[in-house]
Structure 1
């Protein structure tokens, strides 16, 4: 009976969440670039999150962003800032929605797909950092609007730039490692034709 049901989350996804979260945490913790705005950095974990989301989808993307950010806040010692943790989870979820369009596992990464990915990551960052994080800070933590919107805008712009550059490089590099269906047959046919 259990064998006939499809799991909500696969073993592969669980492994991806574990490894993805660990890498996200390390990048966020040790490779953060300071900005002029207090408590706001350009986070190199976000390009990694964009790759994880694009490969594994929205559930894995959400959990890697949410858990990774919560671990980083815990390790930093100032307490977990749940509104930003949630915003990172939402960003991972939204970036994960690109999985079905990019099809990195089975299709080449075209220029059109890269453009789509970057337009979508700008929209996703705007939702997460220009809206969710600052509005959450105002509602939950009673923070001044001017301060948190400034932090959110800086974080969002930093993430957009980081994903546009590093995230795109990661997607292209990953795509080049994938063996496409039929590619071995094409190579075999090519080499066979060389000997005829």
Structure 2
């Protein structure tokens, strides 16, 4: 019985996570200059979702949230290289939060610093390797453009997660974790 309650909790949490991710990603985003990149709180939210529900929930939340947002924005089409990259990002930071045991015991400064170092590494791998190379191979986008947009996302996502994601985790720990 306990396993079923935990599984239902993760499914419902993931669905809510996806809905909030879509709203943050699509409707509360600010475009960065002449790029297709946006400043959004979606990845800060994703860091909390992964810390609560784990890496599979994080991957599903980012993948489905990004694909849905793209589909709503781009006349029914998704930019699949970035959707896949976002799903991988959710998986990576989910694995990090699980490994660090973010909400097991006290949420220490050490855990938060390690989390932010690892989320920076995940951002670099996903947005400076996976997404740009995917854009180059699949969409024939120039490597210069792809890497420029990837670098912008590394910086923006890192800062949003380091600041807002950390605050969300601290608030969650304070109000919901014994």
**Shared topology, TM-score over 0.5?**
yes
Aligned position for 2:114? 116
CA apart distance, 1:37: 4.1
Distance in structure 1 (CA, Å) of the matches to 2:162 and 2:86? 17
> What are the within-5 Å matches in structure 2 for residues 24-35 of structure 1?
24-35=21-32
CA apart distance, 1:36: 2.2
Segments ≥4 residues shifted beyond 2 Å: none
Which protein is bigger by CA-based radius of gyration? 1
CA apart distance, 1:43: 2.2
The TM-score normalised by the length of structure 2 is 0.92
Aligned position for 2:64? 67
**Where in structure 1 are there 5+ consecutive unaligned residues?**
181-196
The TM-score normalised by the length of structure 1 is 0.84
Distance in structure 2 (CA, Å) of the matches to 1:56 and 1:100? 13
CA apart distance, 1:41: 1.0
CA contact (8 A) 1:33 1:43 kept: yes
CA contact (8 A) 1:62 1:93 kept: yes
2:162 to 143, 161, 164: 164
The superposition leaves residues 72-98 of structure 1 with CA deviations (integer Å, 9 ceiling, x where unpaired) of 001102420000001111111011011
RMSD over equivalenced CA pairs, Å: 1.7
CA contact (8 A) 2:43 2:160 kept: yes
Aligned position for 2:98? 99
Aligned position for 1:190? none
Aligned position for 2:41? 44
Secondary structure of residue in 1 paired with 2:39: strand
CA apart distance, 1:179: 4.3
Aligned position for 2:143? 145
Q: Give 1 or 2: higher helix fraction.
A: 2
CA apart distance, 1:155: 1.1
